[in-house]
Amino acid sequence: MVRGPKNKLGNRIAATILVVALLPILLSTIGTLSTIHDITDAAVLEGQRQVTLAVESVQKNSLENQTKLVNAELSKIENSVSYLATVSQQVLSHPELFKPLKDATALKKEADGYEWTPISSNKNLTTVFIGKGARLSSGSLADIGRTKYLEPLFVNALAQDSHAVAAYIILRESITRIYPQLDFHTMIAKGWFPAEFDPYQFNFFYTADPTHDPARKVVWTAPYLDVTGRGWMVTSLMPIYLENGQFRGIVGVDVTLQNLVKGILDDIHFQQPGAYAFLLRSDGQVIAAQPKGYSSLDISGTKSANLLQLGNQQLSAAARQIGAGGSGLLTVDLHGLKQYLFYAPLGVNGWSMVFAVPVAEVVNPIEDTIQANTRKQVQTLELRAITTSLLALVLVVILAVLFSYRVTRPIRQLMAAVGTLGNGDNGVQIPVTQKDEIGLLVLTFNEMSARMKNLVENLEAKVRERTSLLRKALERQKEVNRKILASERARRTLIASVSHELRTPISAIQGYTEALRDGIVKDPQEVANYLEIIYRRVIGLNILIDDLFCLSRLEAHLPMDIQTYGATPLLTQFAGALKTELEVAKLSLEVEIQANLPGICVDKERLNQVVVNLVTNAIKFTPAGGKISFRAYAAENVMVEVSDTGIGIAPEDLTHIFERFYRGKRNPLRRTRGHGLGLTIVKEIIEAMGGQIWVFSQPGQGCTFTFSLPVEPAGHENKLSEN
């Protein structure tokens, strides 16, 4: 009877002790678990923030570098257009310097009323088109011939930039010259192009007219469907104004969007699979996008490519902010998914480049990994805490203290590491002292920290790589600009020299003509002398113009008509043609051409020009009664000599003899050898055919020009041209 109550009391005391002992353990466990949850949430948020900041920084740097590369590419096109406009202004403003050049065939007028140069019947580089009903004057017709001077520049503009597909000039009265050639007859027949073409109705003309481009700068059109059937297009334009301020027309370079995307957007790559890049105009129009962009922005198919017209208020607001200029980062909601929009302006044409990166692809991978690992570890800890609380009363307090210490110490280390990570020290590692779930949590954190460090290092490496590419591109651009400036200086020097060379004969012609017109000269013999002088001055002007045209062809590297000829009969033919001119000049000709010379590989017309220029030069500086010798003999190549008994050349002038318009720096009262372009062209033609030229002279002892001509290869003797 007594033992029963004692056992009940003992049980109650044991139960009370157990409850009292378990209560602080349970409270401590609950507090520890709560701390674990708080620290874990803080670690997840801080990790997410750091990864997001790192990605933002890298994407902004990548975007900045990419826009610089794109600006360099687009600037090359703008430089070409600006240079074309400058040359066009000079050509059209100075008709007295640039005589109209005729195309290989005359313009053909079709039944629809338009005129053009059919590409099947001429050897021109360009096509000329005049719309139906165009109001043409004699000046307009002359300007058609002057625009032919631009052909080499059109060729060069397309050769320097792989994005360009066409270069052209359009005059305001509906006159077009375009490179490469276009079959306007087929395009008009298919309805692609109007026969009554009015340039003011097309944005590839009016975008640069005085109304739309009062600043007279290079401008870019909005994307348009090309009238020649080459797909979507944008054009870089610049107006042409004559020196008197009159608007004359435009020059332009076409760039297909396919080439633009291939040359700009295809080289941009992202680590995020859903990211893409696109180009945006200030009015919200999408110029071009990577393939993912069309579906993501909902502009595929027949839908509008203008972001302001899609009905998405966030996207419209973002497009307006991007179009206002500047750079930055926006977040928008597209089809329920948030996207980062990194943007920066392309300063050369008012466009902006945009990188669209799904927010989830930046944040979710890191967040999911941390949360999954943390959730697993917390569940394990909770189970262990409950199991531990059921142990013996004697060990409960000790185990609770040990458990609290065991749990909180690595978590505090984890909190300190998170703080270090928040200060930007990527790659921080925590020593692993336990092989339980907490240790696994620390290992998970260490792995995440290492991955973050590797990610940042990889991104920094890519930034360095992009920076290096940018530097190289800028260096290339500097070299291109240097060459353009050198070409511009050479062009100005040439124009000044040509103007100087033209002024003297024109002034003489004017003086003699006025004397004849005013009746000052009445003697028939004197009148005949005056007319002979005028005739020879005009012949001299013709020669200078022919030399300029030949020089432009040589500098444009146009192909020569190289064929194999028998040297002896060809040179004998050239020498025979010189006799009459030498008899008129009262000079004797000595011809010595070796028989059976080998065949030579030359352009017959250009070689004849070389001989004529050298003999003309000799006649000019050899007094009447003198002698001119023409010799040809075989060495390693066929050697040709043209010598005279004229005034010779001073030693200090020999090194300059082949320079354009060079005149000896001797006493201006003494007669010296002076040259326009004749000897310059001689040297360039000979070198273009694979030969060399030398000059030997002493003052007062005549002059000898010796040049070599390449012989035909062995075994080709039976292929000599009979012409």
Higher pLDDT: 395 or 475? It is 475
Give the least confident one: 269-283, 522-536, 632-646: 522-536
pLDDT score for 587: 92
pLDDT score for 270: 86
Higher pLDDT: 713 or 237? It is 237
| CATH classification (class only), 559-719 | alpha beta
Q: Which residues pair with 671 in a beta bridge?
A: none
Give CA separation, 497 vs 90, 142, 327, 466, 552, in Å.
15, 24, 50, 46, 15
Higher pLDDT: 519 or 590? It is 590
Q: Is 174 helix (H, G, I), strand (E, B) or coil?
A: coil
The pLDDT tens digits of the residues spanning 448-473 come to 878 877 887 888 888 888 888 888 98
pLDDT score for 659: 81
| Mean pLDDT score, 653-680 | 63
Higher pLDDT: 185 or 530? It is 185
Which segments of the chain belong to CATH 3.30.450.20?
Answer: 110-256, 262-361
pLDDT score for 171: 95
- By DSSP bridging, strand 276-280 and strand 351-358 are antiparallel
Give CA separation, 450 vs 26, 274, 373, in Å.
36, 25, 16
Check whether 666 has a pLDDT greater than 50.
no
Could you tell me what percent of the chain has a pLDDT over 70?
78
Which segments of the chain belong to CATH 3.30.565.10?
Answer: 559-719
Q: Please give the structure tokens belonging to residue 570.
A: 């060809």
| Mean pLDDT score, 365-373 | 67
- Where b means 16+ CB within 10 Å and e means fewer, 164-196 reads bbbbbbbbbbbbbbbbebbebbebbeeeebbbe
Check whether 9 has a pLDDT greater than 70.
no
What is the band of 364 on the pLDDT scale with cuts at 50, 70, 90? confident
The CATH number of 262-361 is which of 3.30.450.20, 3.90.850.10, 3.90.105.10, 3.50.50.60? 3.30.450.20
pLDDT score for 289: 85
pLDDT score for 668: 40
Mean pLDDT (the chain, rounded): 81
Q: Which residues pair with 390 in a beta bridge?
A: none
Higher pLDDT: 494 or 607? It is 607
What span, in angstroms and rounded, lies between the C-alpha atoms of 678 and 684? Answer: 10
Check whether 718 has a pLDDT greater than 60.
no
Q: Which of 484, 371, 651 is nearest to 82 (CA)?
A: 484
Q: Which of 637, 638, 617 is nearest to 705 (CA)?
A: 617
CATH superfamily of 110-256: PAS domain (3.30.450.20)
Q: Which of 172, 187, 159 is nearest to 253 (CA)?
A: 159
